[in-house]
Amino acid sequence: MEIIINKRLLNNIYKEIKKSDEIVIARHIGPDPDAIASTIALRDSIRNTFPNKKVYAVGAGVSKFKAYGNLDHPDNEKLNNPLLIVLDVPNMHRVDGIENLNYSKIIKIDHHPKEDITGFVDWTDTNKSSASQMVCELILNTKLNLTKKVAENLFLGIVSDSERFSLKNTTYETFDTVKELLKQSKIDFVPLYDILYTRPFSEHKFIAYITNNLKIDEHKFGYIIINDETLKEYNVDNATPSNLINNYHFIDDLIVWAFITEDVKNDLYKVSIRSRGPIINEIASRYNGGGHKFASGAKIKTLEEVNKLLKDLSLACMEYEDKEDKQKEE
Ligand code: AMP
């Protein structure tokens, strides 16, 4: 089967890039490897193709993702109405690094369900595994250059967001795109897994802590509330739980699971939720959150609200189980 790519859309994105002298590429706050890798890869590809353009990949840096490359910190007020490319984020309030930026127009490239951002050229497709897959398709189907470093970052972003091609967002298109990426770039991809999966032993002990303390109810809903003291004890930051949550995907006793992590600095709880059945982003959106159908997050101010969310998620599991049982009976 041939991949159906909307070449016209990709060409329109390419044309906008080609005619802009200054470009800012931004992604969501609290970035994951896909957000970081796709942003840096697109910046580096544009810079390589058009060396005279000023191109910035913005947003706060994360030290553990430094292998992907450096981010830029331009003085937004001094930029000259740049083109803004928004990657991997559907809502304006979660775009990182665009304070006081007077952009000319937005190009949006995203695989989350649509929210308030609509690009002048808008490529929103929830069937893509990752923003990195989309950037990869853009580069492979236009005159943008694919360098070794760009290809490595794109590979890392796709592998990470699809959890090594094991999540529901993986399609034959994902494999086709990766095949073409590897064929054209000839990168040595096996050593790249070190970047994603090598971690200190203390983090493994933290995984053991989560496993030992995850509470699982009768509806196969699992959750853990991780306080700041525990993060300190295991020497991990408050972004670590969301990077580990996909590890729990293949556990028979769980259909939905949530990690609630205390964020002392911002005086809130960061919630990461994953599902193997019930749709969770609609529930998360009632608690200052959102995301994908089966991978969502939220930011919650009080434990009382956290408990309400936990009840709603457990209820969703119960309803899902009932539905499954009825289907089996029919
Ligand atoms: P995480 O569990 O942090 O990896 O996030 C899973 C998905 O939910 C990602 O697509 C995030 O962009 C999205 N997400 C996380 N937190 C929020 C939030 N507070 N509001 C909207 N979407 C979120």
Domain ranges of the chain: 7-196, 202-329
pLDDT on residue 18 = 98
In sequence order, the 6+-apart residues with CB closer than 8 A to the CB of 281 are 113, 289, 290, 291, 292, 293, 296
Sign (positive or negative) of CA dihedral 194, 296, 218, 321: negative
The Cα 97–Cα 24 span in angstroms is 10
Query: Separation of 79 CA from ligand 1 center, angstroms?
Result: 29
Residue 4 confidence (pLDDT): 59
Q: Which helix (H) or strand (E) holds 233?
A: helix 228-233
CA of 319 to the centre of ligand 1 (A): 24
Q: Is 100 helix (H, G, I), strand (E, B) or coil?
A: coil
CA distance 259 to 280: 14
Label residue 300 exposed, middle or buried (CB < 10 Å: 0-12, 13-18, 19+). Answer: buried
- Cα of 89 vs centre of ligand 1, distance in Å, is 9
Calpha distance 250→276 (Å, rounded): 9
Please name the amino acid found at residue 152.
Answer: E
Q: The tokens of 232 are what? A: 């300190």
Residue nearest atom 2 in ligand 1 by C-alpha distance: 272
> Residues with beta carbon inside 6 Å of ligand 1?
28, 32, 94, 112, 242, 272, 288-292, 295-299
What tens-digit pLDDT sequence spans the chain (330 residues)?
A: 445 578 999 999 999 999 999 999 999 999 999 999 999 999 999 999 999 999 999 999 998 899 999 999 999 999 999 999 999 999 999 999 999 999 999 999 999 999 999 999 999 999 999 999 999 999 999 999 999 999 999 999 999 999 999 999 999 999 999 999 999 999 999 999 999 999 999 999 999 999 999 999 999 999 999 999 999 999 999 999 999 999 999 999 999 999 999 999 999 999 999 999 999 999 999 999 999 999 999 999 999 999 999 999 999 999 999 998 888 888
Distance CA 154, CA 211 (A): 31
Whether 7-196 and 202-329 share one fold: the answer is no
Query: CA-to-CA distance for 330 and 241, rounded, in angstroms?
Result: 40
Query: Among positive and negative, which fits the CA dihedral 172, 176, 177, 182?
Result: positive
Residue identifier of the C-alpha nearest atom 13 of ligand 1: 291
Q: Which residue's alpha carbon is nearest to atom 22 within ligand 1?
A: 290
Are residues 94 and 29 in contact, defined by beta-carbon separation less than 8 angstroms?
A: yes
| Angstrom distance (rounded) from CA 123 to CA 42 | 15
Angle of CA points 75, 76, 82, to nearest 5°:
125
Architecture, CATH, for domain 202-329 = Roll (3.10)
Architecture of domain 7-196: Alpha-Beta Complex (3.90)
Q: Which of 258, 255, 303, 302 is nearest to 284 (CA)?
A: 258
Residue 245 Cα: closest atom of ligand 1:
2
> Which ligand 1 atom sits nearest the alpha carbon of residue 35?
12
Say how many Å lie between the CA of residue 295 and the centre of ligand 1.
Answer: 7
The total of other beta-carbon atoms located within 10 Å of residue 8's CB is 7
Among the listed residues 296, 5, 273, the one whose alpha carbon sits nearest the alpha carbon of residue 133: 5
Q: Which residue has the tokens 């040595």?
A: 188
Distance CA 301, CA 268 (A): 5
Q: Is 142 helix (H, G, I), strand (E, B) or coil?
A: coil
Output the CA 125–ligand 1 centroid distance in Å: 17
Task: Please say whether the beta carbons of 271 and 284 come within 8 A.
Answer: yes
- The one-letter code for the residue type at 66 is K
Position of tokens 């706050």? Answer: 29
CA distance 28 to 320: 31
Residue 296 CA, closest ligand 1 atom number: 8
- Residues 44/149, Cβ–Cβ less than 8 Å: yes
**Nearest CA owner, ligand 1 atom 14:** 297
pTM of the model: 0.94
- The whole-angstrom separation of Cα 155 and Cα 234 is 30
Q: DSSP letter at 246?
A: G
Distance from residue 272's CA to the centre of ligand 1 (Å): 7
Cα–chain center distance at 292: 9
Check residue 1 and give its pLDDT.
41
* Sequence letter at residue 93: H
Alpha-carbon span 77 to 145, nearest angstrom: 30
